[in-house]
Structure 1
Amino acid sequence: MPTPLRLMAVHAHPDDESSKGAATAARYAAAGVEVLVVSCTGGERGSILNPTCTFEPRDMADLAERRRTEMAGAAAALGVQHHWLGFVDSGLPEGDPLPPLPDGCFALVPLEEAAAPLVELVRQFRPHVMTTYDPSGGYPHPDHIMCHRVAFEAFHAAGDPERYAGHGEPWRPLKLYYNHDFSMRRVRTMHEALIDEGLLSPFGDWVESRAAREIPERPVTTRIRAEDFFDARDAALRAHETQIDPDGFFFAMPRELEAAVWPYEEFELAESLVPTTTPEDDLFAGIHPEDTP
């Protein structure tokens, strides 16, 4: 039998997998690729962001249990496998000055200690491709930044037999990508399409704010057509009932309009150990599954 292709998507919290690269994950899973979503934390310190959700957690453990159930629903909607890395949500510090992060949280774990279980998982699952966030985390949440650091470390260390001894047989992933689902080009395109159709857009303030702050755009190397899997993405989003408002900005764009003006999910090729040419339309471009890294 042919060796299956394998994709590992590393995220900070449950629900991140549904807002970043979800339709791409569903597309590959439907095509027979083995897709594993990894959640670094349980989202224990998250807030209830859906105003229609009536769930009232008693404590962090109660919220973590609820989010585990939601994550299972999202994974089923996308048709992917899922693994908890087991670290504790750091929360999003607010205030000036910012308060210290809580003891024992993910963002404060020493890098090699935090990366060890992911290195072991990479060696077990043996992905050809890994995806995660860019060094900024996509936005300055300490868990997103730490997620990048841990995934970057695992991508480079998993194939080195001298590192992380006792954590499985070495396996070297071949490509590393960063998610770019909230690029300014995408947001601006969707904003202008809604205005042109005479519809309200929730993205105007976002466009103006990012332009005012002069946030640099990272390069996009890879666009995956995934409009056939927007329904799966939306079902995964809705599975996270504590986090996703079903009337919120994720659903502001009529899907037929989105498919017409922006049928893609975007990625930045950070590293490749195989020859490839950008722009790409396939995360596995240049990879032959029978090759043994």
Structure 2
Amino acid sequence: MAVHAHPDDESSKGAATTARYASEGVEVLVVTCTGGERGDVLNPTFEVPEGHEFESIEGRRAVRRLEMAAAAEALGVQQHWLGFVDSGLPEGDPLPPLPDDAFARVPLEQAAAPLVEAVRRFRPHVITTYDPSGGYPHPDHVYCHTVSMEAWEAAGNPSRYVVEGGAEPWTPLKLYYNHGFSLKRLRAVHEAMEGQGLESPFGDWIESRTAREIPERQVTTLVPAADWFAARDAALIAHASQIDPAGFFFAVPRDVEADVWPWDEYELAATRVPVEEHEDDLFAGIRGTEVAR
């Protein structure tokens, strides 16, 4: 189960991994907390699908659902909506308050309840989500972490989130944080591109992160996923309102990426099974054991 804040996050964070596991017969469910209703159009070539509008909350939600369905098909995964409303990314100094209907303003037990139920119904052995920073300071990403941790702790407890007719408690075994762009990865790709005389998109980013001394989180798990980069890219492009096909995500030639960084990165945040120090599989310690049944 991969828990994400908005539609498109599942395609930019760990997408090749989910596509890989789905192709190998693993049941993969993407859970999307919000409908992405307040996301700006980030693709200059975007055209609103015929029969739709993109000016209202309802219209954006409908278009983002179309995009999400296409992305899930490209990855070969199942997908489930929690049904909350995008908080938007507040801007200004001081920051304005979040909208009243924002996901990040929903009380924790109310926000976590549908995720706990989803965990109990899907019964995942592994959950992926965001680290405490959210990966970047969007309120929905930060709250996605909070809600995911609540579900990780509560889903197996029969005395919590008791719902008449709800699914039986289920205890997942491992929880990971996605790591999309570690400094080590950025440098490896940056140096490879410069070595081939190509313009790297990461130079300023590396300098900025180094200057600000942003602490690097630990990467414990590198999942080989280069053979599924094409599926990831197709899922990204499916989010036409958000992803520019000529933009940042496609600035690195795929042969270069596959050669120098053919992995998706994760941090093992919690485990209920014994593990090795370094992994190449999210199911390490689970496969072939009684707990996998």
The answer to whether the superposition gives a TM-score over 0.5 is yes
Residue in 1 aligned with 2:29?
36
Alignment of 1:107-118 (within 5 A): 107-118=104-115
Residue in 1 aligned with 2:69?
72
SS in 2 for 1:258: helix
Residue in 2 aligned with 1:130?
127
- The one-character-per-residue Cα deviations of 1:214-256 (angstroms, maximum 9, x if unpaired) are 1100000000000000000000000000000001111111111
Residue in 1 aligned with 2:204?
205
Residue in 2 aligned with 1:49?
42
- The one-character-per-residue Cα deviations of 1:56-91 (angstroms, maximum 9, x if unpaired) are 612111111001000000000000000000000000
Q: 2-side partners of 1:150 and 1:280: how far apart? A: 26
Query: What is the one-letter code of the residue matched to 1:112?
Result: E
Residue in 1 aligned with 2:256?
257
Alignment of 1:97-116 (within 5 A): 97-116=94-113
SS in 2 for 1:18: helix
Residue in 2 aligned with 1:92?
89
Unaligned runs of 5+ in 2: none
Residue in 2 aligned with 1:5?
none
Query: What is the one-letter code of the residue matched to 1:285?
Result: A
Q: 2-side partners of 1:276 and 1:240: how far apart? A: 36
- The one-character-per-residue Cα deviations of 1:88-137 (angstroms, maximum 9, x if unpaired) are 00000001110000102100001111000000010000000000000000
Residue in 1 aligned with 2:276?
277
Alignment of 1:147-162 (within 5 A): 147-162=144-159
SS in 1 for 2:111: helix
SS in 2 for 1:176: strand
Moved over 4 A (4+): none
- What's the % identity of the aligned pairs? 70
Query: What is the one-letter code of the residue matched to 1:77?
Result: A
Q: 1-side partners of 2:85 and 2:61: how far apart? A: 10
State TM-score, norm by structure 2: 0.95
- The one-character-per-residue Cα deviations of 1:253-290 (angstroms, maximum 9, x if unpaired) are 11111100000000000011001102000000011464
Q: 2-side partners of 1:205 and 1:278: how far apart? A: 32
SS in 1 for 2:291: coil
Query: What is the one-letter code of the residue matched to 2:258?
Result: A
Unaligned runs of 5+ in 1: 1-7
Query: What is the one-letter code of the residue matched to 1:203?
Result: F
Residue in 2 aligned with 1:291?
291
Residue in 2 aligned with 1:238?
237
Alignment of 1:217-228 (within 5 A): 217-228=216-227
* Equivalent residue for 1:13, pick from 6, 11, 32: 6
Aligned-pair Cα RMSD in Å? 1.2
Residue in 1 aligned with 2:19?
26
Q: 2-side partners of 1:160 and 1:58: how far apart? A: 43
Residue 177 in structure 1 maps to residue 179 in structure 2:
no
Query: What is the one-letter code of the residue matched to 2:100?
Result: D
State TM-score, norm by structure 1: 0.95
State the shift of 1:10 in Å.
0.0
* Equivalent residue for 1:82, pick from 79, 82, 94: 79
State the shift of 1:206 in Å.
1.0
